């Protein structure tokens, strides 16, 4: 599989302050790339640079294997996007909005416009003016507009924002169809992991302008998703037994009475035996699944510490 997007050392400063710092990201062909970061982390700024809407201060961008140059237009005929809330001519119909967009892009194709409207289930609403559309319908119209020029790559900034649970489900299955049936690569930003974890093939985590993780979901699922929690009033004694008796260092004190052990080679019975031998009082020992949320939270904190130490 070839790469659809590659950035090298992508950096952006606004008025002397660095907002994006040394981002190296790779989006592979026909994958859904979940671009995750809290508000203000820098997702939109990266996407705007990818779309040539703003110029990087430093670094390079490659789209479809070719280096992006100032004033380039060709690659953007192959990309559909929604950056921030899509804006429409509210008094015109959904269909007319799409027609105008395609004419403007020089890619007018009536068949594809109908197909795009059907795809997002707006076929029957296509002749209604947009001001009569609900928020969810407008989000879907935004996708239809982005798809109506038959792009190979879709760049969508927070497309799930503000949708109700049903709308989120519909959107997710739409993204999968776009990848699987239309063979489109998708770069989707979100500030909520739960919104994209089921559909993303790769997740890139951005924090304070730095890409702190870029991992395939397979890698993420196989990495430390389990731990053993120990609830105890004697947290220091448990830490002592782990470190000096059992020689285990991959654990974390997570609260006044809570300690989490990520080393899964340690059997629960051996742990209990050693804690009893060393007369440590224990309230509970449980095996738990570490949620992805927790995984990313920790990665984000690690990233902050890492950034702060530089
Ligand atoms: N034109 C600009 N001038 C100055 N600062 C800017 C500009 N655009 C963005 N920033 C700053 O860059 C940082 C990243 O903003 P960005 O919009 O990329 O974040 P984001 O991850 O997309 O967050 P959100 O989801 O809130 O849009 C923020 O601190 C923002 O204030």
- The ligand 1 atom at the shortest distance from the C-alpha of residue 42 is 18
pLDDT of residue 1: 61
- Strand-by-strand arrangement of the 226-231 sheet: 251-253, 258-261, 226-231, 284-289
48-87 pLDDT, tens per residue? 999 999 999 999 999 999 999 988 889 999 999 999 778 8
Say if ligand 1 is within 6 A of residue 300 CB.
Answer: no
Q: Separation of 6 CA from ligand 1 center, angstroms?
A: 21
What secondary structure does DSSP assign to 174-199, as a single string? HHHHHHHTS--EEEEEES-HHHHTTT
Say if ligand 1 is within 6 A of residue 40 CB.
Answer: yes
pLDDT of residue 303: 45
**Residue numbers in the chain where pLDDT is lower than 70:** 1, 221-225, 290-292, 295, 297-310
Say if ligand 1 is within 6 A of residue 41 CB.
Answer: yes
At a CB cut-off of 8 Å and minimum separation 6, what does 132 contact? Answer: none
Strands 66-67 and 58-63: antiparallel
Q: Which ipTM was obtained for this model?
A: 0.93
Q: Separation of 46 CA from ligand 1 center, angstroms?
A: 9
């Amino acid at each position: 599989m070839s790469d659809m997007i590659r950035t090298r050392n992508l950096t952006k400063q606004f008025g002397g302050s660095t907002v994006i710092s040394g981002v190296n990201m790779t989006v592979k062909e026909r994958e859904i790339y979940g671009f995750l970061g809290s508000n203000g982390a820098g997702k939109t700024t990266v996407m705007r640079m990818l779309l040539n809407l703003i110029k990087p201060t430093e670094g390079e961008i490659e789209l479809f294997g070719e280096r992006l140059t100032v004033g380039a237009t060709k690659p953007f005929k192959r990309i559909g996007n929604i950056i921030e809330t899509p804006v429409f001519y509210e008094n015109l119909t959904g269909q007319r909005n799409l027609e105008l967009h395609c004419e403007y892009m020089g890619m007018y194709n009536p068949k594809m416009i109908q197909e795009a409207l059907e795809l997002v289930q707006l076929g029957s609403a296509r002749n209604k003016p947009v001001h009569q559309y609900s928020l969810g319908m407008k989000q879907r119209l935004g996708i239809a507009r982005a798809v109506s020029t038959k792009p190979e790559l879709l760049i969508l900034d927070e497309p799930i924002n503000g949708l109700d649970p049903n709308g989120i489900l519909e959107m997710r299955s739409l993204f999968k169809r776009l990848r699987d049936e239309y063979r489109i690569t998708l770069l989707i930003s979100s500030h909520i992991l739960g919104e994209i974890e089921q559909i993303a093939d790769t997740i890139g985590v951005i924090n304070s302008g730095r890409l702190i993780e870029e991992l395939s979901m397979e890698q993420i699922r196989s990495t430390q998703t389990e731990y053993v929690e120990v609830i105890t009033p004697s947290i220091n004694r448990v830490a002592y037994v782990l470190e000096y008796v059992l020689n285990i260092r991959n654990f974390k004190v997570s609260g006044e009475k809570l300690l989490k052990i990520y080393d899964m080679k340690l059997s629960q019975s051996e742990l209990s035996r050693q804690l009893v031998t060393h007369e440590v009082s224990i309230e509970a020992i449980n095996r738990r699944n570490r949620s992805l949320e927790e995984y990313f939270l920790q990665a984000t904190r690690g990233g902050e510490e890492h950034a702060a130490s530089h």
